[in-house]
Amino acid sequence: MNTHKTVNSILLVDDDRAFRTLTGQLLEDHGYAVTACAGAAEGLEKLRENYYDLVLSDLMMEGMSGLDFLAKIKAAYPQKMVLMITGYASIDSAIQAMKQGAYDYVTKPVSNDGLLLKVRKALDEKSRQDELIWLRDQVVNQYSFANIIGKSPSMQKVFSLIRLVADSNTTVLLTGETGTGKELVAKAVHFNSSRKDKPFVAVNCAALPQTLLESELFGHEKGAFSGAIKQKAGRFELANGGTLFLDEIGDIPPETQVKLLRVLEEREFERIGGTETIQTDIRIISATNKNLTQEIEQGNFRQDLYFRLNVMPIHLPPLRDRLEDIPLLVDSFIKRFSEEKNKKVDSISPTAMNMLLSYHWPGNVRELLNVIERAVLLTRSNQIELDNLMFQQNSPEFTLVQQAVSARMTEQQLLSIYAKEVLREMGYNKKKTCEILGINFKTLQSRLAD
């Protein structure tokens, strides 16, 4: 089968030979590649053999009718753009064809300008649909499991839970420190579910005061409060059919917690200032960096809401607890930022990697991302070096690197300082020190002797 796509290719199907000839010539004169055939059976054969941007088909044909032809096209090629041709006497059939998936119809006798306009509109719509499909596929690929990087046992457990829960309507609670990738996991769950073609809507519950937060979640009617100059749909409405991601759920005020609990229990709500009850079909994924059990004990979070949210808990470990994932993440980030910034950076020096492996990463994966982005910008070679690493300015690692650069230390001097510091942190356990540094005992002795 030839799947090569010809730009603006049209399959013209009509049992009127004169019409086929004249219409085919008109379309070709305006830059289209036209394949003409006399009936639906031949048209289906052509569709199996070649790709066409648009099918232009008569509605009333001998043998297989245009409606039957359309039904077979849509069954085999659901996204195929079809434009029907009909006479005034069969406009009702043309309308029926549109209900069955035809884009539009033109009536005989067909004016040249009218036909060309309808063809152009159909092809423009097809181009728009193709772009939307491509963008959707790009998003799905971006949030595939493969893009959540980690070989550590703790991350493998996260992957297993995502796969288990993705294609269901189960409510998910993501926990973990800031920067561990909770929103990335939420998107992975959504875009690997049956809801992936529906909206993914995110709300940061900690970023808004109570009044604005409730307006964002539930919407409001015109005049509901000062500044409500028109009706506004809330995130529960906008996410209908899809997924609502409630980030920093632990920061929701108690009054809003009550309203949220009702939505979770009854799947309905009212806009602020409104009386109409609105039904919603959404999946809830929430996230927090707080210990909600402690928040319940302190009276800051409702226990019944917690039970509703915590149907499937997924905990994202901090980066310091999965150091074996750092080389994988670094490699991925180097490739990403080298492409984005048009730089030919393809590696990181062992000394720089050792520094990354010894750092405590308070900002987790997000901080590592920022460190590598800066390093790619700073390096003047194809390799990231130790002096390209910039950590948070209040961290001991940042001070060490800056002091080393200012003192013009040699790499050997810095390695010696680093080895001695790790040895001290490990309680002078040389075996553990060697494991962390990735060196043997003889190399460690050499560095300690400097």
- Token couple for 253: 């005020």
Look over the chain and give the mean of its residue pLDDT values, rounded to a whole number.
Answer: 86
Across 41-45, average pLDDT = 92
Question: For every residue of 5-65, which 3-state class applies, written as one string?
Answer: CCCCEEEEECCCHHHHHHHHHHHHHCCCEEEEECCHHHHHHHHHHCCCCEEEEECCCCCCC
Model pLDDT, residue 136: 55
- Percent of the chain surpassing pLDDT 70: 90
Q: If one looks up domain 9-139 in CATH, what number appears? A: 3.40.50.2300
Helical residues (DSSP H) of 282-363, grouped into ranges: 292-297, 303-309, 326-340, 350-358
As a whole number of Å, the CA-based R_g of the chain is: 31
Model pLDDT, residue 201: 94
Q: Which CA distances in Å does 432 have to 413, 428, 438?
A: 21, 9, 10
- Residues 231, 221: contact at Cβ < 8 Å? yes
Helix pair 411-425, 430-437: axis angle to 10 deg:
130
The residues facing 288 across adjacent strands are 175
Least confident residue range of 94-98, 190-194, 288-292, 324-328 = 94-98
* Gap between the Cα atoms of 292 and 303, Å rounded: 9
Model pLDDT, residue 127: 83
Across 237-256, average pLDDT = 94
Model pLDDT, residue 6: 46
Per-domain boundaries in the chain: 9-139, 145-317, 321-449
Model pLDDT, residue 249: 96
Is the confidence at residue 79, as pLDDT, over 90?
A: no
Is the confidence at residue 285, as pLDDT, over 70?
A: yes
Confidence of residue 1 (pLDDT cuts 50, 70, 90): very low
Model pLDDT, residue 142: 54
Q: If one looks up domain 145-317 in CATH, what number appears? A: 3.40.50.300
Is the confidence at residue 2, as pLDDT, over 60?
A: no
Give the CATH fold of the 321-449 domain.
Answer: Helicase, Ruva Protein; domain 3 (1.10.8)
Confidence of residue 403 (pLDDT cuts 50, 70, 90): low
* Gap between the Cα atoms of 302 and 308, Å rounded: 10
Is the fold of 9-139 the same as that of 145-317?
yes
- Residues 317, 176: contact at Cβ < 8 Å? yes
Is the confidence at residue 124, as pLDDT, over 50?
A: yes
